[in-house]
Amino acid sequence: MNRTRERRSGPLWLLAACLLLPLTACVQTPKSLFNGHDLEGWSKVGGDATFDVDDDCIVGIHGPGPNTFLRTDDVYSDFDLSLEFRWDEPGNSGIQFRSRQRPDDGIVEGYQCELDPSERSWTCGLYHEGSRGWLVPLEDLPESQAARRLDGWNRIRIRAEGPRIRTWLNGVPCVDLLDSDGERSGFVALQVHSGGQGRMRWRNIQLTELMD
């Protein structure tokens, strides 16, 4: 009797395992875009702000010239990106994604998750660097505005899935936009805005690519 039960249960076990395989294959694990030691995998473009590594963080410090970006060498399409951000010294900044450098003038163009230390507090609003300007300011979203921390770390999350762009600031929803005219792939970059001040740091930069 025991051998008969084993023979009958064997094919059922194999069937169950086969059914689970596609589900397991679709589970994507996050990867770190920053190794915590150096800027391997990143390149600076734009102006003359400086980027360095300090205490397991990428630190961006204002400098002369136009906006400066530290971009990933790789490009990404659909993804879920999370990171932590802090101002050491207030200055306008942002997180570029699905971005590129225009071949004619080298200007960075693409989506930007705003990092805004000003009184309007539009951090995690959606700006389009290089051409289209503001797509989703946060002027009518007081809960999102109130989520920003000028002192201490902020947790940023960006999810780009097809034409849908969403952002969260410290767990609070900020942007949920369907943008059929937007870019569908490009690099990720950390921005130091032009101007006379600003010292920013980023850490725990994790990206999960979304697969069909």
Q: Show me where the domains of the chain are located.
A: 31-209
pLDDT classification of 6: cutoffs 50, 70, 90: very low
Cα gap 159→179, rounded to integer Å: 13
Q: What is the pLDDT of residues 33-74, one digit of tens each?
A: 999 999 999 999 999 999 999 999 999 999 998 999 999 999
Q: Is 4's pLDDT higher than 50?
A: no
16 or 96: which leads in pLDDT: 96
Report the percentage of the chain scoring pLDDT > 70. Answer: 87
What is the pLDDT confidence band of residue 27, given thresholds at 50, 70 and 90?
Answer: low
Structure-derived torsion over alpha carbons of residues 75, 85, 172, 143, reported in degrees to the nearest 10: -120
Q: DSSP string of 61-81?
A: E--SSS-EEEEESS-BSSEEE
Pairwise CA distance, residues 162 & 172, whole Å: 22
User: What local confidence, expressed as pLDDT, does residue 26 receive?
Assistant: 54
- DSSP code per residue over 152-170: S-EEEEEEEETTEEEEEET
CA dihedral of residues 106, 109, 114, 115 (deg, nearest 10): -20
**Separation of alpha carbons 178 and 75, rounded Å:** 21
Name the 3-class secondary structure at 7: helix
Q: What angle is formed at CA 116 by the lines to CA 114 and CA 118, rounded to 5 degrees?
A: 155
Measure the CA–CA gap between 141 and 8, rounded to whole angstroms. Answer: 60
Mean pLDDT of the chain: 90
31-209 is classed in which CATH architecture? Sandwich (2.60)
What is the H or E stretch that residue 82 is in?
strand 79-89
Q: In this predicted model, what pLDDT tens digit does every residue of 143-174 receive, in sequence order?
A: 999 999 999 999 999 999 999 999 999 999 99
Q: How far apart are the first and last CA of the chain?
A: 45
Is 8 a residue whose pLDDT tops 70? no
- In the three-class reduction of DSSP (H, G, I as helix; E, B as strand; rest coil), residue 205 is classed as strand
